[in-house]
Amino acid sequence: MNPAKILFFDVDGTLFDSTKTIPQSAKDALMKARANGYEIAIATGRGPFMIAPLLEELAIDTYVTFNGQYVVYKGEVVYTNQVEKSILHEIVTFGASRGEHAVFLDENQMVASVTGEPKLEEALATLKFPYPTVDATYYLKNPVYQTLVFIEEAQENLYKEKFPSVQFVRWHPYSCDILPQQGSKAVGIDKLLARLDYTREDAIAFGDGLNDIEMLSTVGVSVAMGNGHEKAKAVATHIAPHVDDDGLAKVMKQLHLL
């Protein structure tokens, strides 16, 4: 057995294949790893409500969601973080003046700032989610753990220069996550490891995207999927085959987790 104690899995492009389903080989691998004594956790940019069917299917109750902004251990919320409302208000107001809109997320739902935005609809469709309910002031009245701003890459630097106190992390050609400047999956994982009295060397992380870079750079052993972004691969200690080629199961066997 590998000496690690806990395994963190990204969802899209890591657990989920290109059809947004979990290959049976990956499901079997997670069950075998759990039987071998490893704790299984999710580390995703999605919110808890977005992965509820996955959590139920895999019997997982420990997760780092919203790129580290909402962390749960065995059903207990152990850490939350948010962009300050005043800063978020500036970003949302600036975007609206340019015809660029947002979606706000808490642990239970997502809410759009405007109706009928094609870029919003197209991006969320890749996550298999319909157009959200609409409330342009939702973020002022409720906790918001992640906000999506619907801008193309050409506009990204403008936002980064104007709002240096937050991060803009791209996950779709039409959309970026807005995170606190120091927020990341790595921060959420550190909070969870501290709760368990584990070290970073006790953790293995699996991911594929730009929002996985800090996580893959932080833990003792890290795996980037063969289908992953080149920048994620560059910081990982191991490269798995493509997720559609049973890559997760194959690399878990290689790491002696099964």
**3 state DSSP class of 73:** strand
CB 207 within 8 A of CB 228: yes
82 closest CA partner among 147, 141, 164: 147
Identify whether 212 is a catalytic site residue.
no
Cα gap 49→55, rounded to integer Å: 10
Cα gap 21→78, rounded to integer Å: 29
Neighbouring-strand partners of residue 149? 102, 176
Residues 126/140/178/101 CA torsion (nearest 10 deg): 50
Spacing of C-alpha 219 from chain mean position? 16
**203 phi-psi bin (left φ>0, alpha ψ -120 to 50, beta other):** beta
Tokens of 191: 């909070």
Q: Is beta strand 110-112 parallel, antiparallel or unpaired with respect to 133-134?
A: parallel
Which residue among the candidates 10, 177, 190, 246 is catalytic per the annotation? 10
**3 state DSSP class of 95:** helix
For the chain, how big is the Rg over CA atoms in Å? Answer: 18
H-type alpha helices, 104-229: 118-125, 138-141, 153-162, 185-196, 213-218
Active centre residues (catalytic): 10
